[in-house]
């Protein structure tokens, strides 16, 4: 889908891009489509802010993170590893998270995924 020469593409957010493509193939947006586009745009903005404002990990932190992601037992997160994850989220991604003694594996995997995406963003 090409842009007209000289036009500015204001729809750079994910939700707007999907809305544009579906409109181009003849799908008329409904209220649910608009809500979905808004939710995707909000998520896109959150990740954009998260990754653009984050502070790079130091070499020591990066080595610690790589050691963690290459560990043998990926199904378990030890107390020390949990502290390291919370520290990286607070210090590097400026997220206000607290150490959690009863967080579900799903929550830890979510945080691990955020850090992985941040570390591998380049």
What is the spatial distance between Cα 97 and Cα 87, in angstroms, rounded to a whole number?
Answer: 9
> If we measure between CA atoms, which residue out of 90, 37, 34, 104 comes closest to residue 61?
90
Which of residues 47 and 19 earns the better pLDDT score? 19
Q: Are residues 64 and 113 in the same domain?
A: yes
Give the residue numbers spanning the domain of 78: 59-119
Q: Is the dihedral of CA 19, 22, 26, 27 positive or negative?
A: negative
Single pTM value for the model: 0.52
Q: Are residues 20 and 36 in the same domain?
A: yes
Tokens 């378990």 belong to residue: 76
The pLDDT of residue 6? 44
The pLDDT of residue 118? 79
Q: Are residues 49 and 75 in the same domain?
A: no
pLDDT digits (tens, 9 = 90+) for 32-86: 888 888 888 777 666 666 666 667 788 888 888 888 888 887 777 888 888 888 8
What is the spatial distance between Cα 20 and Cα 8, in angstroms, rounded to a whole number?
Answer: 14
Q: Are residues 113 and 66 in the same domain?
A: yes
Are the C-beta atoms of 84 and 62 separated by less than 8 Å? no
% of the chain at pLDDT higher than 90: 2
Which two tokens mark 77? 């997160």
């Amino acid at each position: 889908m090409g842009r007209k020469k000289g036009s500015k593409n204001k729809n750079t957010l994910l939700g707007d891009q999907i809305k544009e493509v579906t409109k181009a193939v003849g799908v008329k947006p409904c209220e649910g489509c608009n809500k979905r586009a808004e939710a995707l745009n909000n998520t896109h903005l959150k990740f954009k802010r998260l990754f653009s404002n984050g502070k790079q990990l130091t070499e020591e932190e990066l080595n610690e993170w790589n050691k963690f992601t290459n560990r043998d037992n990926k199904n378990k997160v030890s107390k020390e590893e949990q502290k390291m994850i919370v520290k990286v989220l607070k210090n590097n991604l400026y997220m206000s998270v607290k150490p959690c003694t009863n967080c579900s594996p799903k929550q830890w995997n979510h945080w691990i995924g955020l850090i992985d995406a941040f570390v591998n963003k380049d």
